[in-house]
Each structure stands twice: as structure tokens, then as C-alpha cells.
């Protein structure tokens, strides 16, 4: 895919959604961190349902640590892998208090040192909470980048690095959200909604299947 086509893709995505953001509900970096940790192999809808009940009771590392793992489980038990996630959240709260004065760290190294926080989660926090031009490549972005030939790659990391290289700088901050939303609602895995796609004429997927 040539640079002019890539630019046009993001110009259209920007025009359609000038201020994209995550569908996870949060009001602080810590709330976002917990929500993203809970969202692994779960829907944003199920996470939001849980945090709407949890956060009015406990939405700081101190409060969740005081709540304890057993009671935390009661709030998140409808989310997949809830037992493991509860352990990770509790241990993360302890580390934030002991090593970061209760604040979410702003470096990739410190974020990835937290239990249950991998590169993808760190990228979400760096981008959404702290405004860094990071791209968290989930299944939607990985599929989309390969399918339309935007930044094809065999691994998540390869796609991430290619996207950071080929996306025009002025679109980097919001590209993460545009691509996730487009993959989630339009360029879906089994039946992409090509008739509803605003970048259909720029997509290189259809030429491979025609």
C-alpha cells in the first residue's frame, strides 16, 4: 500500500470520528489500567458492567487492596479468567503503592513489570492515559492491518512496528482507536461489512479475492 493511500485512509477515519477513544469507561489512569487488565479475552461491555459497580466502592490502589481479593472477585466474576485477574489486580495495587506512590507509572518498562500487564496493555495506557503515540495491536488491528495490506506482518510486534513506521505522524495518537473500532464494527472477522466501509475503495483486500 502506498503512502498516499494510507494517508487518505486516516483522513477519512478522522473525518468520521475526530475524537476517538476507548470504549472502556474510566476517569483516572488507575481506573483505565484495571479496566484494561480485566478486558483480556473479555468484552468492553462486560468490563464496564463490572467496573460501574466496583469503582464507586473502590477505585484507587489503596481501596482495592483494602477490599481484598475475595471481595474483588465478587465484582468481576462474570468476566473471563476472573480469578487470575483478581490476583493480578491485587498484586498490581500493592506494587503501585510500594514502588510508585500509588500512581500508574508512565514508562513501558515499569508498566510491563506489573502482574498481568503485557505490551498490549502497556500500549493502551501509554496512548490513552498519557497521550503517547503507541499502538496496542489486538486481534482487530492485527486482522485489519493484514487484510487491507496496511501493515502486513506475521506477528503482533511486527505489525505494531510497521504501523508506527507507515502511519503519518499527525494520525499516530488516534490511530489505535480508529483501527480497533473499524475492525470491531466494520471490518469484522467472518463477514466484513464492505458495503458500509468508508475506506472500501482504498482497501486492497477485495482485489485479492475478486
User: Which residues are designated catalytic?
Assistant: 120, 138
User: φ, ψ for residue 195 (rounded to 5)?
Assistant: -65, -20
Nearest by Cα to 102 from 40, 59, 131: 59
Nearest by Cα to 14 from 205, 182, 189, 143: 182
Q: Which residues contact 159 (CB under 8 A, 6 or more apart)?
A: 137, 141, 142, 145, 146, 151, 152, 153
**Residue 164: C-alpha distances to residues 86, 126, 135, 136, 161 (Å):** 33, 14, 7, 11, 5
Amino acid at each position: 500500500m502506498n503512502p498516499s493511500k494510507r494517508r487518505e485512509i486516516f483522513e477519512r477515519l478522522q473525518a468520521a470520528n475526530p475524537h476517538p477513544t476507548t470504549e472502556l469507561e474510566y476517569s483516572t489512569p488507575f481506573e483505565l489500567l484495571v479496566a484494561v487488565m480485566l478486558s483480556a479475552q473479555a468484552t468492553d461491555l462486560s468490563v464496564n458492567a463490572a467496573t460501574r459497580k466496583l469503582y464507586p466502592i473502590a477505585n484507587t490502589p489503596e481501596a482495592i487492596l483494602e477490599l481484598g481479593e475475595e471481595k474483588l472477585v465478587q465484582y468481576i466474576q462474570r468476566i473471563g479468567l476472573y480469578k487470575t485477574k483478581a490476583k493480578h489486580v491485587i498484586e498490581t495495587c500493592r506494587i503501585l503503592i510500594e514502588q510508585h506512590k500509588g500512581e500508574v507509572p508512565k514508562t513501558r518498562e515499569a508498566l510491563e513489570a506489573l502482574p498481568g500487564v503485557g505490551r498490549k496493555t502497556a500500549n493502551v495506557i501509554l496512548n490513552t492515559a498519557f497521550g503517547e503515540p503507541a499502538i496496542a495491536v489486538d486481534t482487530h488491528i492485527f486482522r485489519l492491518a493484514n487484510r487491507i495490506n496496511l501493515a502486513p506482518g506475521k506477528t503482533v510486534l511486527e505489525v505494531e512496528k510497521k504501523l508506527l513506521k507507515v502511519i503519518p505522524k499527525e494520525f499516530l495518537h488516534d490511530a489505535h482507536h480508529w483501527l480497533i473500532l473499524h475492525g470491531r464494527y466494520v471490518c469484522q472477522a467472518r463477514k466484513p461489512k464492505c458495503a458500509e466501509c468508508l475506506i472500501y475503495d482504498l482497501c486492497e483486500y477485495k482485489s485479492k479475492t475478486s
